[in-house]
Structure 1
C-alpha cells in the first residue's frame, strides 16, 4: 500500500512539474487552471496524510516555476508569493472564518479582478523606474526592465511630493483581446507560431531579447500592490495605497472595490462572473485581500502564500455540443488545418460554430468520431477548443474521424516533415487555395499594399483565368478589355487598381521579399535578410551556412529560404518579376564616417549584448570604416562575441584562429 501511495505522489509531482515548466518557462498551457489546481490539491492532501513521503521537488514546495536563463536573475527584496485558490463560496467562507478566528470580526476586504497575465514587480527610486523583475520562482526572477519600459501605460518617472524615496509596485502585464486577435492573425498570415490566448502572447513577448520588438506589441499593465520601507507610516490600509497609486499616475484598475462584509464580496464575485465577458481583457477570477495593514501583519504568511489574501477562480466555461463535421482548410503555404463544425452553442457570451482541431496528432489524441457529443471550452475566453468527447453519448456505429492522406482540394498526396505536426500539400503551382492565398498575401497591406486590389478581386481574377502567378498581376495592364467585362468592375476602379500596381514597384525591397511568401519568412525575418544581404541575388546565391549566420535566423527558416531559391519554378517567377521592375535591392543609406579607426578591418557579430543590439553594433562598425561579413572565413579579422553565441561558430573561429573580442573591446578599438 505504501509503495502505491509513493508511486501516486511521485507521478503527480512529475506531471505537475511538467505542466509548471510549460506554463512558466515556455508560456504554454497544456491543462486548464482548474484541472491543475485539482491535481495540486490531491497532492497536498496526500502529503498531509503521508508527510514521510514528502518530496523536495514537489510543486507544493515551490512558488511559480523554473526560471528562464535568458535574462539576469534578480533576487526579490520582498518574496513574490502565490495566492491560494478557492472555487466555491463555501471555500471562501472557510477563508473568512480562519481570518476572523485570528484577528476578530472587525475586518474589511478589498476585492480586485484577477487578471490573466504575467506578474511583475517594478522598483522606483527617487521617482524613477530602475528595475522590473518577473515573478520567477517567487524568490528571484528575470530582469526585464528594458522590455517593461516599452509599455506605454507604465511611467518612467513620477514627480509628486508624497512619494517614498524607494518603493516597489506589484502588478500584472497583459494584452487586450482585440490586440491579441489582430496580432495572432498577422502571425498566422506570416506562417509564424500563433498563441493560444492573450496571456501566453504577453508572456512570450515579455521574454523577447529585443526590446524593440517588444515595443511593437501592445502590452498593457495594471498595478495593484505597494511595498516600501515604513509603509505603515504612509498608509494604514491596502485601499489607501491603491488610491495613492492612482493619484501618483500609475495604471490601476477602476473596478477594484472595498467590501464591508462577505455578503458584499459575494455580490462582487457574482457580478463579475457574468460581466467579465464585456471587459476588453481576460480575467480568471477575483482576488480578496484583508484591507488593514496591521491585520495583514498579524495574519502573516505560510511558506507559499499570504494568510490575508486568497483568490476565487471562475470555472472556465465549458459546454457540450455535437460535432457535425470536419473540414480541412488549405493555406497559402499548403498547410492543411482541420476545422470542427459544431452544432451552434452559446459559450462565454458568443455563439460558437467552429473550432480548430490544429493537426492530425490532435485529432488522434482526442479520439473523435462524427456525431460525437464534444466538450468545448474557450481558451483565454477567445479561441474555442475541443477538449474531448463524451463517449457515453457516442452514436451507435459512429465513424472515426481519420485525417486525410491527400489534399481535400487538388487531391495531391499530403506530406509531413519529420518532427513537424502539420501536413502540407506540395502542389503549390496547381492547388487553387495555395495559388489564391499567395496572391492575396502578395498584395497585403504589410507586403506590396496594392491600392484598389483586394482579396475578393484576386479570387475573381483567378476564376477568370487572369491570374495564376504573382507576375501576372503586373501583366493585368495588357488585359484591360477582359477587366472591363468583369461584373462590378468599372473603368475608374480599373485605372485606380492599375495605378496601385504600378506604384507597388516603388515599395522597399524588404516588403517585396516578405510578399514572396517564403515559408517561415515573416516581416521581421524579411527585414533582417534584406539588411544582411542587400539584394535578392545575394540571397539566392547564399549558402545554407551564410543564411544561418544572419542574426536570429533559425535552422528551419534558413533551410526554407535556401530551398526556395533552389526551386526552378520560383527562379523563373523571380526573373519575370525582375523584368516587371520590382525592387530587387535595398536603397543604400549613405554612411557618415565618424572615424576611420576600423578601416580595412572585417567583422562578424554573434550572440546577445548588454548595451547594444546587433543592428546598432553593425551601424557603429560601419560608421568607423569597418566592413561586415556574412560568415566566418579566413578573411574575417574579428568575431564580436556576445552571450549565447552559437557553439559551431566558436569552433570554426578557433579553427581559423579568428580573434574573439567583446563588446567593450570593440569600443576600445574604435576609441570610444
Structure 2
C-alpha cells in the first residue's frame, strides 16, 4: 500500500474512533491505542508534507496562533429567539401562527435550550471550512482554528448525500465535570477559579493559542442546518440527518403533534434537566415544517416560527448594603442595588438592577433589607421582593435622588416616562463618554484599536469632548497616555481613519439619537438615503415611515434642531464620514415595479423566496410581510398559506404565479 493511501486510511480510522468516543460515547479502542495510531499519522504527515490536510485528526491538537480574529459576514443571519415564561405565552404564540397559516395541523420540534456560546460552522464538500461566532447576528469572528480542537465536531462528514455547502448552528458548551476539573486545577495552584461554564466556554473560543483551547474539555451540541437544496423538509428530519452525517445532535429532541405534547416535554425536563451533564435553561419550540417556517418568516430580531420557553429562574436571598445611581449615555438614571455577594445560577452576584423610582417605591426597598434576587431571562439580576420580616428596626424609606450624581444638575422626569434623566446632555461626563463609546461600538462605527476604557482616558485627558474629536487625534497626542505604546497609538488612528468607510445606516445608528436603535436606523437610512433629507423631515413625514412612531419621530427632530449636533455632523462630513447611502450598481435593476407592493407566499421553482424578494426590490417594488389593502400583488407558489389566500380573496388582491411575475419584469 502506498504512503498516501496509508495516511488516508489512518485519518478515516481515527475520525471514526473520535466519533465513537466523543459523539456516541462508545469507544471501541483504548486511549493508548488511539494515541499510538495518532502518533503514526503525525510521523507520516511530517515526513510527507505534500499530503497535508487541514482537516486531518492531527490538527485537533492545536498549535495555530491567532493574533486578530477576522470578522466574517454570515451567509445566513443568526437571529435571536423570542422568550416565553409561561404556557399561556406559548398558546398566544400558536394563535399568532394560526392567524398567518390558517388553522393548519402543526407539528413542533422540542429541543433543550443549551447555555453555551453560539457557533455557525460551514461545510463545503463534506469538509469543515469555517467556524464563526454569533457576533451581532450579521457578522462574527472566525474561530476555525480553535473549533477544530473540539473532538465532537467532525472535520470530515460521513455519508454522501450532503449539499455542496451548508451551515450548521449549535452551542459550544463546557460540561459540568470538565468545568469542575478545570477549577480544581486552578485552586490547587492558587489561582482564582472560573465563575461559570458558559462564560468559560465563550472565552475559550477567543484564546489566541489553539493549543490552549485543545486542553479544555469543550463540547459542541448542534441543532439547526441552513443552506440551499437541503435534502429534508423539516427541522426534526434535519436533526436525524445531521446525526447520520456525524454531528453530535442531542438525543433529547422530540417531535410533538400538539402544544399539549410540548407542555409534557417542558414538564419533564423542568425536573430532569438537573440530571444533565451541562447547563440548560429552557426549551426551544420550533414549527417543524420548513414550508410553514418560510410562510411565517422573521421579525426584525427573531423567527416567528420559534419560541424559547425559559424555565422558572432561581431565586436567592441576600442583604442590600447600599443603593448607587448610574448615568447612561442618554442621561437616564439607573438605580443599582449593591448586595452582600451571593451565589446565583452559577455566578457570584454583587449587584442587581432596581429599574426606577417606581420600582423602589413599589417594593418599599430599604438599605439593610433582606431581599430576594432573581436571574431569569435577563443578564442582569433583579430584586423581586423584600423579606420585611427580617427588616432591621429604625430603617428609613429610600428617597430617590433629585440631582445627577455626576454633575449635580437637577433631574427631570417627563410625563409617561419610567426613568429620571439628567438634562445636562452636553456637559455631564458619563453621557459624553457613553455617547462616544456607543459611537465606536461594533454595530456602529466599529473602530478597531479603540475600546471603552480608552475613550474614558481620552476624555479625562481633554483630548476628546465629542465623537467628532476622534477624527483629529494624532499619534503624538495619544502616546503620553497611560498604557499607550507606539503601535497601540498608530492602530487607534488607523481604526478611526478606516471608519470613514462605514455605511450610512451604521453611522446614523452611531450618532446616538434617542430611541433610534439599529433596526430603526436602517429603516430611516433606506427611506431618506441622506442625512440632509432626514434632518429636514417633518414630524408627519417621519411618522409615515414604516414602523416609525410619534416618540421616535419627535426624538429625531429634537436631535437635528440642536445646533451642537448640527455642528458635529458638519465636522464628521468634512472628515469624510458617510452620510448618504452608496447604492451598489445593479445592471439588472429597473423601475418596472415602482409603487407596487408584493407579498410572497409558497414554494417556487425558479426562485428561492429570498431571491424572489430581491428581484421585486431590484425592479423598484416593495416587499410586504402581510397582506393588507395596500398590497398590489401576491406572488403565489406551491402550497400557498391558506390564511394568506383567504385574506387576498377578501381584499380582492391580485394573485399571480411565478411565471406571471417574471413577465412583469421582462
TM-score range, shorter chain: 0.5 to 0.7
After superposition, what is the alpha-carbon deviation per residue over 1:593-614, rounded to whole angstroms, capped at 9, x for unaligned?
A: 466745xxx51659x6547999
Give 5+ residue unaligned stretches, structure 2: 1-80, 116-157, 161-168, 175-197, 199-219, 226-238, 255-268, 285-309, 631-650
Separation in 1, partners of 2:522, 2:109: 42
Separation in 1, partners of 2:586, 2:270: 61
Partner residue, 1:425 = 422
After superposition, what is the alpha-carbon deviation per residue over 1:7-30, rounded to whole angstroms, capped at 9, x for unaligned?
A: xxxxxxxxxxxxxxxxxx99554x
**1:523 and 2:518 aligned:** yes
- What is the Cα deviation at residue 336 of structure 1? 1.5
In the TM superposition, 1:470-549 aligns within 5 A as 470-477=467-474, 481-549=476-544
Going from structure 1 to structure 2, the CA distance change for 1:270 and 1:642 (only over 3 Å counts) comes to: closer
- What is the Cα deviation at residue 547 of structure 1? 2.7
Partner residue, 2:344 = 347
**Corresponding residue SS for 1:425:** coil
1:379 to 376, 380, 397: 376
Partner residue, 1:413 = 410
Partner residue, 1:296 = none
Separation in 1, partners of 2:311, 2:521: 43
Partner residue, 1:69 = 96
**Corresponding residue SS for 1:494:** helix
Partner residue, 2:456 = 459
Aligned length: 416
Separation in 2, partners of 1:419, 1:345: 35
Partner residue, 1:585 = 580
After superposition, what is the alpha-carbon deviation per residue over 1:261-319, rounded to whole angstroms, capped at 9, x for unaligned?
A: xxxxxxx999853x66x73431499xxxxxxxxxxxxxxxxxxxxxxxxxxx9975322
Partner residue, 2:595 = 603
- What is the Cα deviation at residue 323 of structure 1? 0.7
Moved more, 614-623 or 356-365: 614-623
Separation in 2, partners of 1:547, 1:390: 48
In the TM superposition, 1:276-315 aligns within 5 A as 279-283=278-282
Do 2:312 and 2:376's aligned partners in 1 also have CA atoms closer than 8 Å?
no
**1:553 and 2:548 aligned:** yes
**1:390 and 2:387 aligned:** yes
Separation in 2, partners of 1:567, 1:579: 19
**Corresponding residue SS for 1:400:** coil
Going from structure 1 to structure 2, the CA distance change for 1:528 and 1:381 (only over 3 Å counts) comes to: closer
Going from structure 1 to structure 2, the CA distance change for 1:314 and 1:522 (only over 3 Å counts) comes to: closer
Going from structure 1 to structure 2, the CA distance change for 1:248 and 1:329 (only over 3 Å counts) comes to: same
Separation in 2, partners of 1:404, 1:491: 44
After superposition, what is the alpha-carbon deviation per residue over 1:95-126, rounded to whole angstroms, capped at 9, x for unaligned?
A: xxxxxxxxxxxxxxxxxx97599xxxxxxxxx
Separation in 1, partners of 2:248, 2:103: 25
Separation in 2, partners of 1:325, 1:512: 39
Separation in 2, partners of 1:351, 1:379: 15
Partner residue, 1:325 = 322
In the TM superposition, 1:15-94 aligns within 5 A as 27=83, 29=85, 64-65=91-92, 67-69=94-96, 72-73=100-101, 75=103, 77=105
Going from structure 1 to structure 2, the CA distance change for 1:318 and 1:176 (only over 3 Å counts) comes to: farther
Separation in 2, partners of 1:320, 1:248: 47
Partner residue, 2:569 = 574
After superposition, what is the alpha-carbon deviation per residue over 1:47-105, rounded to whole angstroms, capped at 9, x for unaligned?
A: xxxxxxxxxxxx8xx994474436524546488899xxxxxxxxxxxxxxxxxxxxxxx
Partner residue, 1:41 = none
**1:643 and 2:626 aligned:** yes
After superposition, what is the alpha-carbon deviation per residue over 1:382-403, rounded to whole angstroms, capped at 9, x for unaligned?
A: 5422121111111111111233
Do 2:221 and 2:249's aligned partners in 1 also have CA atoms closer than 8 Å?
no
Separation in 2, partners of 1:556, 1:615: 32
Separation in 1, partners of 2:270, 2:559: 55
TM-score, normalising length: structure 2: 0.52
Separation in 2, partners of 1:609, 1:272: 41
Going from structure 1 to structure 2, the CA distance change for 1:569 and 1:596 (only over 3 Å counts) comes to: closer
Going from structure 1 to structure 2, the CA distance change for 1:605 and 1:582 (only over 3 Å counts) comes to: same
- What is the Cα deviation at residue 409 of structure 1? 1.5
- What is the Cα deviation at residue 322 of structure 1? 0.5
**Corresponding residue SS for 2:375:** strand
- What is the Cα deviation at residue 405 of structure 1? 2.9
Do 1:595 and 1:623's aligned partners in 2 also have CA atoms closer than 8 Å?
yes
Do 1:592 and 1:623's aligned partners in 2 also have CA atoms closer than 8 Å?
no
Do 1:176 and 1:282's aligned partners in 2 also have CA atoms closer than 8 Å?
no
**Corresponding residue SS for 2:326:** strand
Separation in 2, partners of 1:349, 1:382: 12
- What is the Cα deviation at residue 468 of structure 1? 0.6
Do 1:416 and 1:424's aligned partners in 2 also have CA atoms closer than 8 Å?
yes
Do 1:344 and 1:351's aligned partners in 2 also have CA atoms closer than 8 Å?
yes
Going from structure 1 to structure 2, the CA distance change for 1:581 and 1:322 (only over 3 Å counts) comes to: same
Going from structure 1 to structure 2, the CA distance change for 1:81 and 1:366 (only over 3 Å counts) comes to: farther
- What is the Cα deviation at residue 438 of structure 1? 0.8
- What is the Cα deviation at residue 540 of structure 1? 0.9
**Corresponding residue SS for 2:280:** coil
Do 1:323 and 1:373's aligned partners in 2 also have CA atoms closer than 8 Å?
yes
- What is the Cα deviation at residue 327 of structure 1? 1.3
Going from structure 1 to structure 2, the CA distance change for 1:246 and 1:668 (only over 3 Å counts) comes to: closer
Separation in 1, partners of 2:246, 2:328: 46
Separation in 2, partners of 1:563, 1:441: 19
**1:670 and 2:642 aligned:** no
Going from structure 1 to structure 2, the CA distance change for 1:451 and 1:174 (only over 3 Å counts) comes to: closer
Cα RMSD (Å): 4.9
